[in-house]
């Protein structure tokens, strides 16, 4: 009986160790993948913020409605002549911009700042790094989960101005009261912004889920621990009498 109990305990301990190792590997893989996706989303978001390609001149009836191709962004607009010459100019006044453009600026800058902070916390809290030492797994996991939440918030902050700008462009394009030279189409930056949003949301989710707190549920161990525990009281005396009688 004692040999069988010891074998059962060893097998259970080996199985438990394997499950912990597999869980740790999967968690670390999700952690690293989430951080990589979030960094890619951050880079794409920075390009979206800087590029003057949010809105471009519209084509109506297969022809360009104006002789100049206009590219509009958050910080500047560019004019492309038929000769191939391109002239870009930053906006003269921030207060003169529409409220939607000012809100888009604020949200995109806020998203970039959140991504920067989340990147620092994510690298410090990732399981594949040793910034805080191997003995501080609980604080590292907490930092990584906070970074995942920040990436999620940054993704939503990107999604709002991009989707609102796309809605405004489509609305004005089909509005008969808007003059043809003022009609615009969706620029490449909006599509890149949607891609950045998806990357940030996926990366933040994986980083948060992959940074599970250390020390999962421990299975009970039978046999070995109970064997070394001394018996006291009436129960112990009864067992000793039974052994003497046998």
**CATH number reported for the structural domain that contains residue 124 in this entry:** 1.20.140.150
- Assess whether pLDDT exceeds 90 at residue 106: yes
Q: Residue 153 falls within a domain, yes or no?
A: yes
- The whole-number pLDDT of residue 228 equals 43
Q: Residue 244 falls within a domain, yes or no?
A: no
Backbone dihedral angles phi then psi of residue 126, each to the nearest 5 degrees: -70, 145
Q: Residue 128 falls within a domain, yes or no?
A: yes
**What tokens does 202 get?**
């996926």
Q: Residue 15 falls within a domain, yes or no?
A: no
Q: Residue 203 falls within a domain, yes or no?
A: yes
The owner of tokens 């949301």 is 201
Q: Residue 85 falls within a domain, yes or no?
A: no
Indicate the pLDDT class of residue 142, thresholds 50, 70 and 90: confident
Q: Residue 234 falls within a domain, yes or no?
A: no
**What tokens does 51 get?**
């590029």
Backbone dihedral angles phi then psi of residue 127, each to the nearest 5 degrees: -70, -25
Range of the domain at 141: 30-51+96-178+188-213
- The whole-number pLDDT of residue 43 equals 95
- Give the whole-angstrom CA distance, residue 20 versus residue 26: 10
Domain count for the chain, please give it: 1
- Give the whole-angstrom CA distance, residue 47 versus residue 193: 9
What tens digit of pLDDT does each residue of 225-236 get? Answer: 444 444 444 445
- Assess whether pLDDT exceeds 60 at residue 239: no
Most confident by average pLDDT, 12-21, 97-106, 237-246: 97-106
191 touches 56 (CB < 8 A)? no
Indicate the pLDDT class of residue 22, thresholds 50, 70 and 90: very low
Indicate the pLDDT class of residue 80, thresholds 50, 70 and 90: confident
Q: Residue 160 falls within a domain, yes or no?
A: yes
Which H or E element spans position 56?
strand 55-57
Angle at 168 between CA 190 and CA 100, to 5 degrees: 85
What tens digit of pLDDT does each residue of 143-168 get? Answer: 888 999 999 999 999 999 999 999 99
């Amino acid at each position: 009986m004692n040999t069988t109990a010891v074998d059962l305990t060893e097998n259970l301990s080996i199985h438990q160790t394997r499950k912990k190792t597999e869980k740790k590997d999967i968690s670390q893989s999700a952690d690293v993948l989430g951080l990589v996706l979030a960094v890619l989303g951050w880079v794409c978001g920075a390009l979206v913020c800087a590029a003057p390609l949010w809105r471009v001149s519209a084509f109506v009836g297969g022809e360009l409605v104006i002789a100049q191709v206009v590219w509009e962004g958050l910080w500047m607009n560019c004019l492309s002549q038929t000769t191939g010459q391109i002239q870009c100019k930053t906006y003269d006044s921030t207060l003169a911009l529409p409220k939607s453009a000012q809100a888009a600026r604020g949200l995109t800058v806020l998203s970039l700042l959140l991504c920067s902070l989340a990147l620092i916390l994510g690298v410090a809290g990732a399981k594949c790094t040793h910034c805080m030492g191997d003995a501080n797994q609980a604080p590292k996991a907490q930092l990584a989960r906070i970074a995942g939440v920040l990436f999620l918030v940054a993704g939503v902050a990107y999604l709002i101005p991009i989707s609102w700008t796309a809605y405004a462009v489509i609305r004005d394009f089909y509005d008969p009261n808007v003059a043809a030279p003022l009609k615009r189409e969706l620029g490449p930056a909006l599509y890149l912004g949607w891609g950045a949003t998806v990357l940030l949301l996926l990366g933040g989710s994986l980083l948060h889920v992959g940074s599970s707190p250390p020390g999962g549920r421990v299975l009970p161990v039978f046999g070995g621990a109970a064997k070394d525990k001394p018996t006291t009281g009436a129960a112990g005396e009864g067992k000793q009498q039974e052994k003497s009688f046998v």
